[in-house]
Structure 1
């Protein structure tokens, strides 16, 4: 059997020295995070599989890993005195106001009220908007800096929001829930889904390529 012994032993590695954020188990091909704190976006990892036969054969594939900004530890919650259904209809405009006054890229992570109010979305005048911010270099801005800027720009933000909602608006700051997921956790979850599809196909491709070349 041409795929027995060392010919059938595959070792995995990351190409182009990408081990700052991720690493790989050379025996199983499982990718795991090293450090993605303060980072968000999609990482393109080039993975190589190599057999251990006399004439070593290799194959490569790209695995896309998305780190969700909602996984950040620097989430800030802005509380608006508006009904949740009204805020949801105008969330794009709210985002533009926050970005304009904070001078950072703002991501709206969630818009919510209490569990009861989720069922009756026009029943209350309190809505929570969970945000995180990134600077021009796509580096995460700390929660303390975001809150400081929100306090400095509070009056200006409220004036602009009043134009959107056609009513006086107050924008308060509330701490994010303590159980917010870490970037490593969310990246691992995303990786699990990706690898379930990608690496299986990758292994089939490698084995098929090895067999075809050896025959």
Structure 2
């Protein structure tokens, strides 16, 4: 027993186990524009993405940039601020859900919405054909929530880690919807999506192949 006691004492005095920090790609925080910023807030290269969740070109950009941009963000050299430019009612539903998900779930949900865009877009269109007349007299927020549920967006948000309570509260009042629309209205200088800013310089009409070298030139690693 006497030999065991020193071992126990040594273990108790040992440095506590510290959880490994999350990669920058999993770190998001709300910013003054009403958007979320993913990555190192002190990154040398600050990329702003102007996107619409129902924009096919945005989904293509997300697919093409996923691995290389993810590596840049993980290195801490690049941060990504996602600014939504809302184009239609379904886009409003998706953008509002993404905002309501909270910072912990936002990076995963943002990625999932683009990765599964075609599926939930088609599912929502099919759902609307059978339910548009039935819900037409409902309050607007109830219609948006029904669209989220019927189109599979709620399920995607839950799978990404969004709390069920946050999703339920999302359309309980118009506060979140108004914030999303206000943030969208502030993107009026952008002619279409996707568009970008690198350290405050607006860049339009480019794809990932043309954006990547500009990020590298700015210091992305």
Scaled by the length of structure 1, the TM-score of the pair is 0.25
> Between Structure 1 and Structure 2, which shows a larger proportion of helix residues?
2
Greater relative contact order (CA < 8 Å, ≥ 6 in sequence):
2
